[in-house]
Each structure stands twice: as structure tokens, then as C-alpha cells.
């Protein structure tokens, strides 16, 4: 029983949704943790990437590489639309624009006028078809070295690609933040006037950081829809705040913090939901099954409050990274 529980936990850790959260949070770390950009619309980048991939692959039957490219281009254009009019202004203007733009995207794709392309409030099904068509794994169900962790070939394929993208994103950010470009980015976070006095184009660097983090968010949106259908209500403002929770858990200015933070966040949600369900079935908790959803988020919120109080820099963060303008 204990062995099965351990392998069940491992299966939850490597869930594709965890990979999508980690990838989107790495992009958010580039925005907020390393550059100091207040992006409250990372869910909008995920929605843009997910819809670009789903529309091109399902509606227009593009090849897989073309759909991935469409997601990257869409996230880049979205970053330019948001960044060009706001990044020359104070940081709070970007936060207002991004949170509003994310909601505009979510509400626009639900309107009946665009339902032929976006699927309206019902979303789009079958986004994983083109992705699974190139699956090199043989048909069947497979375990991991004889363990109870068994999935079919499509589930393994999604996990391999999702976590592969997370690994590549971590490597990319790790190398970038140790390059001259990364040092300028972190200098902008600390004091952009000082960076500007050295002759650096602060606006250009901010745009580059916004695009890079937005592209990672767009790719996260693709990974997010592969194991499920695309639903517009999944991209509400609560998704962005989930990502901020993950970022604060791992550390706002860390490369690998988002990975650990997403795992802790997802396992805590799953474990809390399971314990609450067991308590209701055993008659220990005077609750209904519909009340377990809000309560598990309350538990996560309380845990985050304790973390902010006792370790505000996160698990891997440093206190000096908290002191920036």
C-alpha cells in the first residue's frame, strides 16, 4: 500500500499540468523575478499560445511544427502589443494592461461571433491529435521499470515532451542569467536609472524579457491543453495567481524554484483533496463534496501566508533578491 502511494505521488509530480505550470512560471520569473516587470496576465499568454496551437492544428490542419510556431509567434505579437505602449511608463501600468488584456482574450474567444474559429464557450477538442500522430512510442500501456506507474503511449509522450520543454527552459534561463544580457536584466530590476546612465536601452531589454517570458507562457499553454480539451474559463485571473503562488513558493528570482514550486503546489492540492474526500467518506468532516474545492485552496493560501511570513524569499530564493525597486 505504501509503495503504491509513493508511486501515485510520483505520477502526480510528473503530471503534464505540473509541467505546464512550471513552464509558465519560469516565464513569469523572467518577467517579475529577474526584470521586475509586474505581469498580472500570464494566463493571457497561455491562452494565446493554446488557442494559436489548437486553431491551426484542429481548424486549419497545420502540421505540428507549424502549430508550435504559431503559438510562439502569437505570444510574441501579444507581448509587443502589451509592451510597446506601457514599458516606457511606470511598472503599475503594465500590471493593469496585462490583467485587462488577459480577461479581454478570455471573454473574446467565448463570444458567438468567433465560435467558428475559437469554439465559443465550449472551446476546442482534439488539440492533441496532431501531437499524438508523431508519437514515436509503440502502442500499448507501459510501466516504469516494473512499477505500478502505468500509462499509455500518448500519456507518456505528453509527459516526455512537457518535462523536456521545462528542462530546456531551465537551461536557457540559467545560461541567459549568467550572460551579459542577464546581468543587464537584473540591473534593470535593481535600478533601471543606473542601467540607463550606462548607455543601455532599458526599453529594448524590457521588451526582450517580456517576449521571452511570454513565449514560455505560450508554450505552457500548448502543454496545458494536450491532456485535455481547450476551455476558455481555464484561463481566468486565478490561473495567473496560481503561477504567482508557485513562483513565491520556489523563489521569485530563481531558475529551478518554479519547478519545485509547481510540484509542491500540485501535490498539495491533490493531497488535500484526497484527504478531505477520505474525511467526508469516514464521517469525520461535516462537509459536502462540493465544499472540498474551496477548502483545499484555503489550505494552500494559509500555507503560502506562513511561507511569506517565515521565509518570504521562497524555498530557493535569497533575501537580497527581495530588495529591488
Q: Above pLDDT 90, what percent of the chain?
A: 48
Q: What is the mean pLDDT of residues 272-300?
A: 73
Return the pLDDT at 6: 58
- β-pair partners for 151: 142
pLDDT at 62 over 80: yes
pTM of this structure: 0.90
Contact 35, 209 (CB under 8 A): yes
Contacts of residue 150, defined as CB under 8 A and 6 or more positions apart, other chains included, come to: 141, 142, 143
Contacts of residue 270, defined as CB under 8 A and 6 or more positions apart, other chains included, come to: 12
Of 116, 115, 114, 94, nearest in space to 44 by CA: 94
pLDDT at 3 over 90: no
More confident residue, 38 or 152: 38
pLDDT at 74 over 90: yes
> Confidence band (pLDDT; 50, 70, 90) for 1?
very low
Domain boundaries, the chain: 4-321
Q: What is the CA radius of gyration of the chain?
A: 20
Helix (H) or strand (E) holding 141: strand 141-142
Return the pLDDT at 271: 76
Q: What is the mean pLDDT of residues 204-232?
A: 94
pLDDT digits (tens, 9 = 90+) for 153-173: 888 899 999 999 999 999 999
Q: What CATH class does 4-321 carry?
A: mainly alpha
pLDDT at 55 over 70: yes
Amino acid at each position: 500500500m505504501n509503495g503504491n502511494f509513493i508511486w501515485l505521488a510520483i505520477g502526480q509530480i510528473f503530471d503534464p499540468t505540473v509541467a505546464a505550470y512550471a513552464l509558465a512560471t519560469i516565464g513569469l520569473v523572467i518577467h517579475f523575478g529577474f526584470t521586475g516587470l509586474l505581469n498580472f496576465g500570464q494566463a493571457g499568454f497561455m491562452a494565446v499560445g493554446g488557442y494559436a496551437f489548437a486553431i491551426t492544428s484542429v481548424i486549419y490542419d497545420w502540421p505540428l511544427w507549424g502549430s508550435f510556431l504559431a503559438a510562439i509567434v502569437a505570444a510574441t505579437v501579444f507581448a509587443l502589443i502589451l509592451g510597446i505602449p506601457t514599458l516606457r511608463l511606470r511598472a503599475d501600468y503594465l500590471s493593469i494592461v496585462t490583467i485587462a488584456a488577459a480577461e479581454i482574450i478570455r471573454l473574446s474567444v467565448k463570444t458567438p461571433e468567433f465560435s467558428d474559429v475559437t469554439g465559443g464557450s465550449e472551446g476546442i477538442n482534439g488539440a492533441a491529435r496532431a501531437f499524438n500522430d508523431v508519437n514515436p512510442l509503440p502502442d500499448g500501456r507501459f510501466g516504469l521499470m516494473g512499477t505500478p506507474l502505468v500509462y499509455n503511449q500518448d500519456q507518456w509522450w505528453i509527459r516526455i515532451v512537457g518535462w523536456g520543454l521545462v528542462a530546456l527552459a531551465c537551461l536557457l534561463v540559467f545560461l541567459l542569467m549568467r550572460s551579459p544580457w542577464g546581468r543587464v536584466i537584473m540591473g534593470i530590476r535593481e535600478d533601471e536609472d543606473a542601467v540607463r546612465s550606462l548607455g543601455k536601452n532599458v526599453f529594448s531589454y524590457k521588451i526582450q524579457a517580456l517576449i521571452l517570458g511570454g513565449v514560455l507562457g505560450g508554450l505552457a499553454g500548448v502543454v496545458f491543453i494536450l491532456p485535455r480539451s481547450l476551455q476558455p474559463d481555464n484561463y481566468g485571473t486565478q490561473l495567473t495567481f496560481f503561477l504567482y503562488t508557485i513562483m513565491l513558493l520556489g523563489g521569485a528570482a530563481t531558475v529551478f524554484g518554479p519547478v519545485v514550486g509547481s510540484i509542491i503546489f500540485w501535490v498539495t492540492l491533490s493531497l488535500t483533496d484526497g484527504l478531505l474526500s477520505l474525511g467526508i467518506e469516514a464521517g469525520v468532516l461535516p462537509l459536502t463534496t462540493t465544499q472540498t474545492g474551496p477548502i483545499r485552496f484555503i489550505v494552500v493560501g494559509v500555507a503560502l501566508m506562513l511561507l511569506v511570513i517565515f521565509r518570504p524569499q521562497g524555498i530557493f530564493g535569497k533575501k537580497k533578491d527581495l530588495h529591488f525597486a
